[in-house]
Structure 1
């Protein structure tokens, strides 16, 4: 993806030419600096090509094993690059029973982003299903996750012994990997030289398209409860209240009016909303002692209590003389008050 590749891709894009990039990334042992250069080049190239196929050299250890010979390991990587290019060319150029032409390839490859191309040839029992599963399992390719593919192109090549049910098996296996709303195009080609074998070629694009993985999840809002989360609003809260619109039922609470009253808040309504007039404060009365129970309050006789009636019993008068409050005397002794 480095060198002149991004420049060539940019020119092709400006000319409206379908451009597919096929690159390889270095081994991990080649160093971080070399890997960084490769990633920067791949990122730049991806912005100009329609689709980008990336081969990871590091995965040769997984495919070939630790004992793989040097030249055979690189030959395996070269085969992946070759199959990616030749497979797309074969889809376009070879006439088939159900033909896939350049416009189909352009539709699929036009889904910009990472792409994968896989091919597999299988013979014998379950050849259709096994070939399809092997075609989408390309261990050397980066980003092979068909669950996010926006475009999938499938080409089935076999002799005239190809059964209709085998075509269904191939497409069912591949659709099991692809997104539900992906654009899937398939074609079939007869090739008698294959004998009993069946070849499946898969091209999937748009693998890293953010729209492919966009799911609308319900938003969860967490609120931390505090010791005052259900308390009544304070004067400062009420004074800072701002209505959502001019047609709100209450526009604002007047702090000045609230502080000048003891029985209520002056609330001014907007439009035709009702208003609550403030009650006048009672002057000359000290309410500070009402936080204590009545029996503990000083100056209990500060306010005049009702007097005993003429028909009250002598016991009631005796209790009153000894300092009992009027309401502390049982009612049947008080009988009637003046």
Structure 2
């Protein structure tokens, strides 16, 4: 008599891919590869044939060989966009099979600013959950570079589910002026690594309270502006300390955490983790969630963690609060992204040259660079969990469109230009 054995087939884990676009994105991927992040596939895409070789990713996409000849985008986002469109099919092939994609780039240069939105659009069209983590330029890199960055962020925000921004100037504020360049950029890369590792742990590693990919998609899909933070603490009150540290990440762009619509929490701790500590973390997180927020909590027990608790928080839908507010008397009209009337594509070359275009810091996302009215324009104010701060940007109308590089472009050190390209 034949014997039949029933074999239960395990469902495969969700596939997570990280795509580093341009020089800054490539550096972030190299940082994660060196940190041995588990459960993630790495891809780099660049127009610079020399820079792409140093990223350490198994899959490397040389973009726009016909457009750039492997020499980079020259800080021109339109060149970066055309390069990505030239290799559209190769990008699609690289993204094939992914359930979730993280896109990282330094905004303000050519490849990152121009190509990242193309990668995000292709991923979204493939039905992939798409999250972007990008940086804004340093103030000393000039107003035009910030204008380019803001236009790129606005375009990117229209093609990804959630978007996290990191202003480079906060690296100086948080780490101090004596911090080395290596320390500063490592801190920015750690934000991306924390988001990717935290979500990968939730999905890939078995936990005491399991979270599946459907939960992650519910929290992060079509949510817009997001924040992410990771906190680790030991000793007394470690649970509260770790949770508070996670939701008060000083490196992120100024956003209003109140009323977050989706919250994803990953708690990693040792066998000594108690129910009281679990409740303490829950109460801390609940303090900034809206009443109808979708909250997903996962707990992973790691035997190697002794007297230590790590909390990772991803809060999404933050811009929906600001979007629902009416404009107060005296407030300036919002600025908007300019698109070509024929092609529908963003016109990166159309800039306003006059006026005080960008202030020291610009909070929030969704900012373009042409006036919505004849009045000057301002970015929306935002506040953190513990304190409020506001920042604004303004632009002048009536300027002549130009695609030329600014006169002070070559004054920027080459290593900084390459970081963002």
Are positions 1:19 and 2:19 aligned together? no
Distance in 1 between the 2:309 and 2:324 partners? 33
Give the conservation status (yes or no) of the 8 Å contact 1:111–1:150: no
Give the conservation status (yes or no) of the 8 Å contact 1:111–1:151: no
Match of 1:145 in 2: 256
Give the conservation status (yes or no) of the 8 Å contact 2:198–2:266: no
Distance in 1 between the 2:315 and 2:246 partners? 11
After TM superposition, give the deviation of residue 165 of structure 1 in Å: 0.9
After TM superposition, give the deviation of residue 212 of structure 1 in Å: 7.5
Match of 2:160 in 1: 49
Match among 304, 308, 317 for residue 206 of structure 1: 317
After the TM superposition, which parts of structure 1 deviate over 3 Å for at least 4 consecutive aligned residues?
210-215
Give the conservation status (yes or no) of the 8 Å contact 2:138–2:168: yes
CA RMSD of the aligned region, Å? 1.6
After TM superposition, give the deviation of residue 112 of structure 1 in Å: 2.0
Distance in 1 between the 2:318 and 2:186 partners? 26
Distance in 2 between the 1:147 and 1:164 partners? 26
Report the TM-score, using the length of structure 2 for normalisation.
0.49
Match of 1:253 in 2: none
Distance 1:75 1:195, change over 3 A: same
Match of 1:110 in 2: 221
Are positions 1:85 and 2:196 aligned together? yes
After TM superposition, give the deviation of residue 84 of structure 1 in Å: 2.1
Question: Which structure has the bigger radius of gyration?
Answer: 1
Give 5+ residue unaligned stretches, structure 1: 216-338
After the TM superposition, which of the residue ranges 28-37 and 88-97 deviates more from structure 2?
Answer: 88-97
Are positions 1:30 and 2:120 aligned together? no
Match of 2:114 in 1: 3
Give the conservation status (yes or no) of the 8 Å contact 1:55–1:81: no
Give 5+ residue unaligned stretches, structure 2: 1-106, 108-112, 327-421
Structure with the bigger RCO (C-alpha within 8 Å, sep 6+) is 2
Distance in 1 between the 2:229 and 2:321 partners? 23
Match of 2:36 in 1: none
Distance in 2 between the 1:212 and 1:25 partners? 22
Match of 2:329 in 1: none
Q: Please show how residues 182-261 of structure 1 align to structure 2 within 5 Å.
A: 182-210=293-321, 213=324
Give the SS at the match of 1:12.
helix
Match among 172, 176, 193 for residue 61 of structure 1: 172
Give the conservation status (yes or no) of the 8 Å contact 2:198–2:312: yes
Give the SS at the match of 1:195.
coil
After TM superposition, give the deviation of residue 138 of structure 1 in Å: 0.8
After TM superposition, give the deviation of residue 106 of structure 1 in Å: 0.3
After TM superposition, give the deviation of residue 210 of structure 1 in Å: 4.2
Report the TM-score, using the length of structure 1 for normalisation.
0.61
After TM superposition, give the deviation of residue 132 of structure 1 in Å: 0.3
Q: How many residues align?
A: 215
